[in-house]
Structure 1
Amino acid sequence: MTEHENEGAAPGWEAIDAALAPLYADQTPKHYGTIISARLGGDDPLDGISAYRRTTPRPHWHFVTYGFSELYAKESNDPAYSGFGFELTFRLADDGRDEEPPTWALNFLQNLARYVFRTGNVFLAGHHMHLNGPIALEHDTGIVAIAFVEDPELPAIDTPHGRVEFLQIVGLTEDELQALKRWSSSQALEAMAPALPLFVTDLHRASLLNDSAIARTLEAGSAREGASTGRIYTDRLAWSRKKRLLRGTQTVVTIGARQVEELTALLPLRLPFGKEFELIGDAVVVAFEPADAEGVGEDGERLTVSLTADACRALAATLRPKAGEYAVPGVDGLIFEVVPTEIRDAEGKVVQTIG
């Protein structure tokens, strides 16, 4: 604990320690406390991160956070959950030679905490997130995204301040992330689990889709059930409608090039299965719904595009992640304007422009 905490004054912290004790009774973790926590005006939301060294099923560091839950006193209004209701864990492959875990992993966990504390958005098992670049900027790695699973060794606990779940971060390659989106996160991760014992993240591994058996399982699940991903978020989204003389209303949907590939991949795995799909922007929503006839409607800032299965496939075949205007065959008056998307790193520097 950090120096300002008194013995016995942190029942939430002690509950986490008690959950870890059966796994690590004979090990004192490397612990990295925050000098000035965010509660006291500092920049780090987490009060601490512990790292345990493991040798099985392969050498790795097992990180556990302290700070998403209520460590000292009950402050939230929800009696069922402590704080945000979870702590994060992260298992990172290690060759066993370093005495200390890598600093980037500690900073990564604090950055995830900053996102949660700033937005109020919580993580749940099955959630996934693109990182807009390598998980570790100074490493040559294909791990560019993460998903969340229940830590296979740490079940949820009931603390004096409410329930706390241990959500483990799983590093993913780009194509693995897309495979999760095209089916079900939980089922896709279950299919990957035999190749990822305890879901240890290895910066140097190749994509699991190189394994033909795993790839076939993921493709079959997607073809059989469609995609569970029902929405994607984008900061480049707008729509407008204008009446045309003798030709009806024209609708223009403006979307960033980065989201085009996701949209065209997921729409055919949603609408033909009777499932809606949403693009969610900062101020507007564009919803796609399956229908027997094409149509466009608006309700406030929400635009609803109704598509038949044929029109859905036509849209997916027409749009490209390249700047320009695209008319949807068979859907009169519907135009998609694709604009370039800038990908920025954690420091805000543009590292890639799509479209």
Structure 2
Amino acid sequence: MSDESDDLSPGWDAISGALESLYPGQEPRHFGTVISYQLGGSDPLDGISVYRSEESRPHWHFVTFGFSELYAKESTDPDVSGYGFELTFRLACATDASEPPMWALNFLQNLARYVFKTGNVFEDGHWMTANGPIALNENTPICSMGFAEDPRLLALDTPNGRLKFIQVVGLTAEEEEAAKRWSTRKLLDVLLPFMPLWITDLHRESLMSNSAVATQVMDGLRVDGSSQGYTYVDVLRIDMKKRLLRKSLIQVTLGARQVAQLHELLPLRLPFGRPFTVAGPEFQLVFQPAGQSGVAVDGAAMTIALPSITEFLRIVQAKEGRYQMAGLDEVEWHIQKTLITNPEGEVVATYG
């Protein structure tokens, strides 16, 4: 970049400075966006830089530019730059690899599209399913993601506010289940000795088959319950239907796969005195442990108080249909089939 443009990109310069300190003298492979997202382009990120690292094992280190404020300060929070983070991703490569794979760039842009569309941000300890292999045309068991602060890039103060470098860590389906049931961050700590720097290896087997890992996870669940207090979903609607001489009927629409997740996670939250939140693009549903059943709706947010989860688990099934619980007859659960599609829009799996 020219000196003139450097003066107009203090956020970009701060990130580049941190990377220069980590990789002194290395010229990154930079992949910029041709048409800006603000001008109608399809890629939200302004660019992605890729560095070659030999630490622990040969790998590519991807770093995004675009979640934070790279140019002028536009957000109202002076302490936080944009969304408050940039993503990083470490991908194992062959010793003689000369170029990073293009699928990884598209993968990071897809994560950016999710953030820019929903406003949901990634933080240390989050997880997210990829609904299929994270790399197209690769025979890989890696189909999910954990998120942790990059072990080599510390939080950064820029002229536009503070940002963190959040690393995407590829997980298998079994590891995702462990993350959901226990704690993503604690699971990543358990995995770290077996995947240094949390380098994603498309060809590794699930570490849940390692007896030392499995034992630590089971011990953690027994002591901690689940620290996973939320899940993001694509399907969640809350509709109020007026009824003559009776309370309004509250219709809650969820996908069957999300109900299956609730069956797994509610027993690890509410009996431990912890709430659980389901967050959708427009609505939010909170399950709250309480002495007696109750429901409250405040705009797009709904709270359900449950003294016990037994009735919910018995009545509301992960199968297409309509369900009502005794004691909460003003709530009707509409459960839809969950269709998993590939990037071409083809249905590859159906739940419910």
- 3-state SS of 1:114 partner: helix
Shift of 1:240: 7.0
The answer to whether structure 1 residue 269 and structure 2 residue 287 are counterparts is: no
**After superposition, what is the alpha-carbon deviation per residue over 1:57-112, rounded to whole angstroms, capped at 9, x for unaligned?**
01110111122222232222222122222211110011133311000111111222
For 1:280 and 1:157, how far apart are their aligned partners in 2?
29
In the superposition, the TM-score normalised over structure 1's length comes to 0.86
Kept in 1: contact 2:269–2:276 (CA 8 A):
yes
> In the alignment, residue 92 of structure 1 is paired with which amino acid?
L
For 2:340 and 2:104, how far apart are their aligned partners in 1?
22
Per mean C-alpha deviation after superposition, the further-off stretch among 252-261 and 216-225 is 252-261
In structure 2, do the counterparts of structure 1 residues 197 and 5 end up closer, same or farther at CA, with 3 Å as the change threshold? farther
Match of 1:37 in 2: 36
- 3-state SS of 1:44 partner: coil
Per mean C-alpha deviation after superposition, the further-off stretch among 33-42 and 313-322 is 313-322
- 3-state SS of 2:139 partner: coil
**After superposition, what is the alpha-carbon deviation per residue over 1:173-204, rounded to whole angstroms, capped at 9, x for unaligned?**
12212211222222221112111100101111
> In the alignment, residue 162 of structure 1 is paired with which amino acid?
G
Structure 1: unaligned runs, 5 residues or longer: none
Shift of 1:314: 5.0
The answer to whether structure 1 residue 345 and structure 2 residue 318 are counterparts is: no
Per mean C-alpha deviation after superposition, the further-off stretch among 68-77 and 209-218 is 68-77
- 3-state SS of 2:27 partner: coil
For 2:10 and 2:209, how far apart are their aligned partners in 1?
46
In structure 2, do the counterparts of structure 1 residues 178 and 5 end up closer, same or farther at CA, with 3 Å as the change threshold? farther
Shift of 1:138: 1.3
Per mean C-alpha deviation after superposition, the further-off stretch among 77-86 and 3-12 is 3-12
Kept in 1: contact 2:238–2:250 (CA 8 A):
no
What is the total number of aligned residue pairs between the two structures?
349
For 1:148 and 1:349, how far apart are their aligned partners in 2?
28
**After superposition, what is the alpha-carbon deviation per residue over 1:134-177, rounded to whole angstroms, capped at 9, x for unaligned?**
11121111111112111101111222222121111111112212
- 3-state SS of 1:193 partner: helix
Shift of 1:317: 5.4
The answer to whether structure 1 residue 184 and structure 2 residue 192 are counterparts is: no
The answer to whether structure 1 residue 321 and structure 2 residue 286 are counterparts is: no
Shift of 1:267: 0.9
Per mean C-alpha deviation after superposition, the further-off stretch among 187-196 and 100-109 is 187-196
For 1:71 and 1:298, how far apart are their aligned partners in 2?
41
For 1:34 and 1:336, how far apart are their aligned partners in 2?
43
For 1:158 and 1:290, how far apart are their aligned partners in 2?
39
